[in-house]
């Protein structure tokens, strides 16, 4: 099964900037332990559905990447909303905003293969061989930005 989700796997983010001052290293260690437990809990909520791939429009902390990769799960972060919607449509996934909202029916099972390819100097992620895809992406390459803009305009 492949699982696609729109969520942020970071420690809680606050609306206003703030600082935490600690007097001892043990206080700092306690805060770091609490953050690790929180992120591990978020990842556990995702991993109970046994995904192969997690996609997020938001950030994914290094710690969350560690927990996911340790479980054999690939992750794509900071995907544009429009691209995330296309992937959800192509794979049958439902985009959710928080791990505690996840249900088995949200898991997208229509993806065939996830691969990363290097084209020129850039890396691209592909989800191919989808069952009954309802969306696709056209990758354009050309000699100049003006040429590509003209081709893109003609495709629309």
- Name the pTM for this structure: 0.73
27: Cβ contacts below 8 Å, ≥ 6 apart: none
pLDDT band at 68 (very low <50, low <70, confident <90, very high): very high
144: Cβ contacts below 8 Å, ≥ 6 apart: none
Residue 127: pLDDT above 50? Answer: yes
Residue 24, both tokens: 């001892």
- Cα gap 135→106, rounded to integer Å: 18
Which CATH code for domain 3-110? 3.50.7.10
Q: Where are the domains of the chain?
A: 3-110
Residue 56: pLDDT above 50? Answer: yes
CB 96 within 8 A of CB 106: yes
Range scoring the smallest mean pLDDT among 47-51, 66-70, 101-105, 138-142: 138-142
| Orientation of helix 62-70 relative to helix 25-47, angle to 10° | 50
């Amino acid at each position: 099964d492949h699982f696609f989700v729109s969520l942020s796997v970071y420690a809680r983010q606050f609306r206003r900037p703030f600082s935490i001052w600690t007097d001892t290293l043990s206080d700092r260690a306690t805060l770091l332990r609490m953050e690790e437990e929180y992120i591990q809990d978020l990842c556990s909520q995702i991993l109970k559905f046994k995904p192969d791939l997690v996609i997020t429009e938001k950030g994914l902390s290094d710690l969350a990447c560690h927990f996911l990769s340790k479980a054999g799960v690939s992750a794509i972060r900071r995907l544009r909303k429009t691209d995330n919607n296309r992937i959800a449509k192509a794979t049958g996934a439902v985009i959710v905003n928080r791990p505690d909202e996840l249900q088995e029916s949200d898991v997208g099972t229509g993806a065939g293969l996830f691969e990363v390819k290097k084209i020129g100097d850039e890396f691209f992620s592909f989800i191919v061989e989808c069952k009954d895809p309802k969306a696709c992406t056209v990758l354009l390459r050309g000699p100049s930005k003006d040429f590509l803009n003209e081709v893109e305009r003609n495709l629309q």
